């Protein structure tokens, strides 16, 4: 019975999304699903709890607008990719999408996406903490390109380029890349990427590319010394995260195209966007600092 309930909720969700902005008859839903009108009502209630704004009247049910949820259905609907995002795994909360993606990576399909509304133990590089409150985009993509482990850095470069293109295309933001993995608008960081790999001696088993974007987050939440900001802080309005996620996945697939062969075009774009090439920098590593 539990499974039946979930199935009918998915059917109702699909129908309401298909008829976005217009009415769907409650009786019609009940008839086509072979359940009572009261059961339809119950499922509508649980969709509301998920965040869907659904009107009810004598004419039936009406979804006003797509909610900005990174759910499996919404991320997949209208996504123009061949393999990235064919499987989307969406959680309300995870310790870290990278940790979860790595856990499932060995048996996961190439292009699987893991997203969470919140991360409780988001990870930066070198065991640093990544602050991941509600309103951001915290996701990881499992990729299985046929490349040697020595070329795995290309995955991270492809991800940076994908996010930069998406932010420019959708919002006209000028995005610079600060080596190795910070995406900057002006002097402030809006996104960080973290790529982790599983490999044999000479072949890459998988790469998990983690992308963290401060989308709709009050920039005052970040300590000043992080030099961080958010998309909503820069634009003065909230953005539709769903649209941004889809655009990133589409750009990522494009940027991955030549991964195993000629990666020159993406590399070229990366150096054009580099905020550090040609500048004096101080590099701080585990083994010391140098300029
Ligand atoms: C990064 O680390 O920039 C990589 C961040 C990757 C996060 C994604 S989210 C999805 C996936 N799942 C994960 O668990 N991780 C990935 P790093 O360059 O080490 O920067 C970390 C430092 O940035 C911290 O030590 C803070 O100083 C600062 N910081 C923490 N949270 C931040 C945020 N939300 N925005 C900007 N800066 C932040």
- Segment 43-55, tens digit of pLDDT: 999 999 888 999 9
- Report the separation in Å between the CA atom of 24 and the middle of ligand 1, taken as the mean of its atom positions: 43
DSSP 127: G
With beta carbons less than 8 A apart as the criterion, state whether 8 and 16 touch. Answer: no
Neighbours of 290 (CB within 10 A): 9
CA distance 97 to 208: 9
CA distance 253 to 245: 12
Neighbours of 279 (CB within 10 A): 9
Residue nearest to atom 28 of ligand 1 (CA): 226
- Report the separation in Å between the CA atom of 66 and the middle of ligand 1, taken as the mean of its atom positions: 29
Nearest to 256 by CA among 97, 177, 146, 117: 146
Give the up-direction half-sphere exposure of residue 226: CA atoms within 13 A in the CB hemisphere: 19
Tokens 């044999």 belong to residue? 200
Q: Which atom of ligand 1 is nearest to the CA of 225?
A: 27
Site to substitute for ligand 1 among 93, 143, 192, most atoms within 8 A of C-beta: 192
Site to substitute for ligand 1 among 134, 212, 229, most atoms within 8 A of C-beta: 212
Q: How confident is the model at residue 2 (pLDDT cuts 50, 70, 90)?
A: low
Burial class of residue 278, CB neighbours in 10 A (0-12, 13-18, 19+)? exposed
Give SS3 for 1.
Answer: coil
Q: Which atom of ligand 1 is nearest to the CA of 131?
A: 31
Model pLDDT, residue 230: 98
Q: Give the C-alpha distances (Å, rounded to integers) separating 112 from 19, 38, 253.
A: 28, 37, 12
Model pLDDT, residue 167: 98
- Does the beta carbon of 102 lie inside 6 Å of ligand 1? no
* 168-226: pLDDT as tens digits: 999 999 999 998 789 999 999 999 999 999 998 889 999 999 999 999 999 999 999 99
Give SS3 for 249.
Answer: helix
- Does the beta carbon of 195 lie inside 6 Å of ligand 1? no
Across residues 4-13, what is the average pLDDT? 84
- Does the beta carbon of 206 lie inside 6 Å of ligand 1? no
Q: Which atom of ligand 1 is nearest to the CA of 121?
A: 14
Q: How confident is the model at residue 249 (pLDDT cuts 50, 70, 90)?
A: very high
CA distance 159 to 138: 13
Tokens 């963290």 belong to residue? 212
| Joined tokens for residue 231 | 């998309």
- Does the beta carbon of 138 lie inside 6 Å of ligand 1? yes
The total number of residues shown for the chain amounts to 291
């Amino acid at each position: 019975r539990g499974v039946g309930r979930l199935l009918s909720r998915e059917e109702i969700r699909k129908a309401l999304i298909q008829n976005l902005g217009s009415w769907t008859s409650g009786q019609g839903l009940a008839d086509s699903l072979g359940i009572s009108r009261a059961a339809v009502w119950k499922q509508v209630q649980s969709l509301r709890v998920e965040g869907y704004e659904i009107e009810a009247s004598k004419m039936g049910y009406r979804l006003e607008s797509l909610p900005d949820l990174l759910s499996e259905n919404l991320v997949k609907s209208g996504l123009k990719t061949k393999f990235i995002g064919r499987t989307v795994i969406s959680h309300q909360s995870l310790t870290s999408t990278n940790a979860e993606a790595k856990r499932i990576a060995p048996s996961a399909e190439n292009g699987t996406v893991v997203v969470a509304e919140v991360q409780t133990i988001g990870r930066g590089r070198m065991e640093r903490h990544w602050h991941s409150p509600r309103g951001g985009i915290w996701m990881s993509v499992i990729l299985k390109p046929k490349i040697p482990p020595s070329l795995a850095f290309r995955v991270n470069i492809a991800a940076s380029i994908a996010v930069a293109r998406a932010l420019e295309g959708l919002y006209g933001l000028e995005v610079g890349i600060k080596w190795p993995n910070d995406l900057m608008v002006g002097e402030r960081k809006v996104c960080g990427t973290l790529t982790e790999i599983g490999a044999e001696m000479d072949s890459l088993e998988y790469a998990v590319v983690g992308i963290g974007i401060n989308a709709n987050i009050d920039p005052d939440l970040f300590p000043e010394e992080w030099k961080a900001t958010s998309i909503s802080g820069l634009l003065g309005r909230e953005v539709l995260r769903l649209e941004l996620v889809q655009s990133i996945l589409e750009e990522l697939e494009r940027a991955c195209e030549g991964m195993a062969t000629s990666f020159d075009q993406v590399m070229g774009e990366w150096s054009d966007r580099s905020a550090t090439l040609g500048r004096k920098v101080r590099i701080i590593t585990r083994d010391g600092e140098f300029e």
